[in-house]
Amino acid sequence: MRFIGSILVAAVLLTACTAGTTTPQMGADGKPLPKLYRISNHATNKIQFRILDSVNSLRQAAGTSEVAMNAQLIAAAETHSRDMSAQNRPWHFGSDGSSPIDRVLRLGYSGPLLGELISETYETELETLGAWMEKPDTRAILLDKRATNMGFAWYQESTGKIWWTLIMGG
C-alpha cells in the first residue's frame, strides 16, 4: 500500500511539473510560430501610454526632449491604419490619394509633419517600435530633435493582422 501511495504521489508531482508547459507549434521553416497578439477594446489607453513612455525613454537616452500625444495626430494615424487595411498594403498614401501631410492638415494640425512610420504585422507595439529603431531612417524620425508631438494608432483585422501608424510632428 505504501508503494502504491508513493507511485501516486510521484505521478502527481510529475504531472504538476509538466502542467503549463506546452510545446510551441512549429512553422514550415522549423521556427516557432508567433503567438497571436489580440488587442482588446479596453487596452487602447494602455497601449497609447506604453508606446509614449517607450518612445520618450528612447528619446531621453538619445539626449532629445520628450514628445506628447496629440489628438489630431492620433486621429490621422487611426484613419491611415484603417485605410491601409482597406487597401491591404502598407504604404504612405491614402486610398483617396492623400499624403501624410494632407491627412494631418485635414485634421487641423498646424505644426510641421516630421514623419510617418507604418507597419503591417502580427507583432506587439513594442516589437514594432523595436523594428523601427533598428532602421536608420525610421529611427531618425523617432529621435528627431524637432519633434514635440506624436500620434499613434492601429487597426487590427479579424485575422489578427495589425496595421500600426506612428506620426511625429513639431
For range 23-41, the mean pLDDT: 69
Q: Is 167 helix (H, G, I), strand (E, B) or coil?
A: strand
What is residue 111's DSSP assignment? S
* pLDDT top residue among 14 and 44: 44
Q: Which pLDDT tens digit goes with each residue over 96-151?
A: 999 999 999 999 999 999 999 999 988 899 999 999 999 999 999 999 999 999 99
Total Cβ atoms within 10 A of residue 163? 24
pLDDT on residue 136 = 97
CA distances from 105 to 71, 82, 167 (A): 13, 18, 13
Q: Residue 45: is its pLDDT beyond 60?
A: yes
In the chain, the percentage of residues whose pLDDT exceeds 90 is 66
pLDDT on residue 35 = 66
What class has domain 43-169? alpha beta
Distance CA 42, CA 74 (A): 17
CA distances from 77 to 6, 13, 38, 63, 139 (A): 62, 52, 19, 26, 18
Domain residue extents for the chain:
43-169
